[in-house]
Every structure is written in C-alpha cells, then in structure tokens.
C-alpha cells in the first residue's frame, strides 16, 4: 500500500494520559499535514511540515500538543495530559509542494477516545 498510513487506527485512553500517533506519508511527498475532525464537522487544520520544518501551527494546537517530523519522512503527533475534549479523529495528509498546489492525500485517521 503506497498511500498515507496512520497508526494506530483507534486509541482509547484515560483522561490525563499521554498519547502519540504516527503518520507515514506517501514517500515522495515533502508536505505533511495534521487535521482534527469531530463529529459532524469538517477537518480542522492543526499544523503542517515541509520536509522536517514545521511551517505553521493553528491556534487550535494548545501547548499540550506537539508534532515532529525529525527526518522529513514520518511524523508523530503527541497529546499530553489528554482531556475529554481531545476526543476526535486525527487525520494526516501529505502532498507535493511546488508551483502547482497539488491535492493532499489523506490517511484513514486515528480515532481517539478519552474516557
């Protein structure tokens, strides 16, 4: 499978615990995005990387959230001290940057439930 891969697909955690999600983009894609989607809403932008550089972070990304893309390939999104409001689907996408704004390809997401 050469698409965007996310792991795990589902995560249930107790409030206050830390969680980490992984995203493996399409191999030749240099841009990687994280989005969050709650029930009945569209995906909300969290942050994106171009290669290993984190170029933008949304105000939605509180201090408890951190994302990394250390070698410009896979990325991790960590949530510290999880809260019930963090329950959502976390989507990763990748694309090729360049003069033409290409479409982003999305993974199947990680569904987080905080109990």
Q: How far is the CB of 55 from another protein (least distance, A)?
A: 8
Of 7, 44, 52, 68, the one binding another protein (CB under 8 A) is 44
For the segment 16-35, give every residue that binds another protein (CB under 8 A). 33, 35
Q: How far is the CB of 35 from another protein (least distance, A)?
A: 8
For the chain, first and last CA: distance in Å?
Answer: 33
Three-class SS state of 91: strand
Among the listed residues 98, 78, 76, 91, the one whose alpha carbon sits nearest the alpha carbon of residue 30: 98
Q: Is 51 in the site for another protein (CB under 8 A)?
A: no
Residues engaged in binding another protein (CB under 8 A): 33, 35, 40-45, 48, 55-56, 89, 91, 93, 101-109
């Amino acid at each position: 499978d050469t698409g965007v891969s996310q792991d795990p697909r589902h995560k249930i955690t107790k409030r206050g615990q830390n969680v980490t999600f992984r995203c493996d983009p399409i191999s030749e894609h240099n841009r990687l995005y994280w989005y969050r989607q709650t029930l009945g809403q569209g995906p909300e932008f969290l942050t994106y990387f171009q290669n290993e550089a984190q170029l933008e972070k949304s105000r939605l990304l509180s201090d408890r959230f951190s994302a990394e893309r250390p070698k410009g390939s896979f990325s991790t999104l960590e949530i510290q001290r999880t809260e019930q409001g963090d329950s959502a689907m976390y989507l990763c996408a990748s694309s090729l940057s360049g003069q033409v704004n290409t479409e982003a390809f999305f993974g199947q997401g990680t569904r987080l439930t905080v109990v």
